[in-house]
Structure 1
Amino acid sequence: IVVAGSQTFWTTQVSEALEKKEIVKYHKQQLHELDELRELVRGELTDNARETLKALIVIEVHARDVVINLIDEKVMNVNDFEWISQLRYYWNEDHLYIRAVNAEFRYGYEYLGNTPRLVITPLTDRCYLTLTGALHLKFGGAPGN
């Protein structure tokens, strides 16, 4: 739930920053928030809270990398492929939806456990995009051997 909430908030903030042409300003705010998370995780926490914060930091570092790419690619429109190809979370009429390009799914609140997250790379993003597109077309997907 923490990660889904964070991703929803991030989607809204990036969309607003793109609409206002303030993505660089948002990036600076994002760096400050990451610093605050790093300080929190170094503090006195329960094991469960520490694992939650570590997972959140992995997601937020990826979000930072996405914003850096949007800046580098000079994206200034919420309809630009560099933005819509990302997994984006939207809260609409009492439900959470996940979108990527033209695919949209209602969030199912699956519990994955409070375990460490894998680092998200550009290859991971491409896998997410491919699998999201496949599911949208009613296909499936599986990791290769």
Structure 2
Amino acid sequence: MSRKARLYELMVKRENIELRRKAEVLNELISDQDVLRDLDQKLARMVEENQLEPGPQSVQTLRSKAWYGREMARQQEFTANRLEFLGQEIVTNRNLLAQNKNKERIIADKALEHRKAVALDNDQRAETLMPSKPHSRRF
């Protein structure tokens, strides 16, 4: 194997490893986003459940509902911001993954072209080295 062919092979392997690593990161981001969506839905249900009920209530009940309401709203805002950030990160990582796939494909194509060129060169060299057969005349 020529030095250039080996270099192409190593470049393809490197891009393949990088591609797998980026795919794992993307899968982790997507799973984090799913977990945060579930948390956001739970917080929304808890905010609904924490609404004031009709009728007389004690001051302590009103205070605790107000405090819990503020805490849940804060957590909901945090999850909304985090979901927005994760959405942007997922888009960015998908673009990077597509770029890596394209780069790997280009390198693999160059490696294939190099192998074909080397094979063609070897065939031509073999043909030139073969002794030509004398043409025999048959009467």
TM-score scaled by length of structure 1: 0.34
Larger radius of gyration: 2
- The structure carrying a bigger helix percent of its residues is 2
TM-score scaled by length of structure 2: 0.35
- The structure carrying a bigger strand percent of its residues is 1
